[in-house]
Amino acid sequence: DAVVDISGVSTGDRVLDVCTGTGEMVFLLAKKVGLNGEVIGLDNCPDMLRIAQRKTKLFTDSFFPSERISFIDGDALALPFSLNTFNCVTTTFALRNLTDISKAVEEMFRVCKKNGRVICLEISEPANPFLQAGFKLYFHRLIPLLGRIIGQGQKIKEGYPAYTWLSKSLNGFPQGKEMARIFAEAGLKDITYHPLTGGMVTIYFGVKK
């Protein structure tokens, strides 16, 4: 996984995954921190956290002591941790769903230790015209259509129909240099961003100096 590879997470590290969902990133990171490390997944969706907890039992029976992995209900805009707590803070495909992206990055910066890393993986629009056309067709046409067919009118965030929110959340979402600026304004240094899969996703990286 690209996030794990770029994270620099090593044995004994303490790591936080923000908006963890069902915890996939937590389990990947847990393999890196080892028996002396700790990984915490935070989310504000109880249903997602219940799934993550069920998966934890399977994972810890095979790979990892259960006390080194935990999931908590919490707000990405007000992380329930002290300054300088984690060696690395990650989030994947979540910032675009938050009401205040800058605040979320500031919070991730705050809870990082000195020389800790903040890493975000997000959907992005490709620069290549051909890939861009396919991207727009898929996210702005096909996914909303599928939502109407199989979503049966279900409403999700801000009252949008199921699957329509994904395309709505991409409109105006900061990408590339704009996201790097948000990282810098939060206080992060050594900021880089790397487009992946033809630019359809981008990984953002910064260090707390």
SS3 track for 2-50: HHHHHHCCCCCCEEEEECCCCCHHHHHHHHHHCCCCEEEEEECCHHHHH
Query: Look-up: residue for tokens 């990286």?
Result: 205
* 120 in Cβ contact with 188 (< 8 Å): no
57 pLDDT tier (thresholds 50, 70, 90): confident
| CA 76-82-85 angle, 5° bins | 90
The residue ranges of DSSP E strands in the chain, in sequence order, are 14-18, 38-43, 69-73, 86-92, 112-123, 189-196, 201-207
CATH of the domain spanning 2-124+175-207, picked from 3.40.50.300, 3.20.20.140, 3.40.50.150, 1.10.3720.10:
3.40.50.150
* 56 in Cβ contact with 121 (< 8 Å): no
* CB neighbour list of residue 133: distance below 8 Å, 6 or more residues apart: none
How do residues 64-79 score in pLDDT, each as one tens digit?
Answer: 656 689 999 999 999 9
How do residues 106-124 score in pLDDT, each as one tens digit?
Answer: 999 999 999 999 999 998 7
87 pLDDT tier (thresholds 50, 70, 90): very high
Mean pLDDT (whole number) for 166-192? 85
In the predicted model, is pLDDT for residue 82 greater than 90? yes
58 pLDDT tier (thresholds 50, 70, 90): confident
* 144 in Cβ contact with 167 (< 8 Å): yes
SS3 65: coil
Global pTM? Answer: 0.83
Mean pLDDT (whole number) for 91-105? 92
What mean pLDDT is reported for the chain?
A: 83
Domain positions in the chain:
2-124+175-207, 129-165
Which pLDDT does position 24 carry in this prediction?
93
SS3 193: strand
- Residues making up the chain, counted from first to last: 209
Per-residue tokens: 87:
């060696």
Closest CA to 145 of 162, 127, 170: 162
Which pLDDT does position 165 carry in this prediction?
47
Q: How far apart are CA 44 and CA 112, in angstroms?
A: 20
Higher pLDDT, 49 or 61: 49
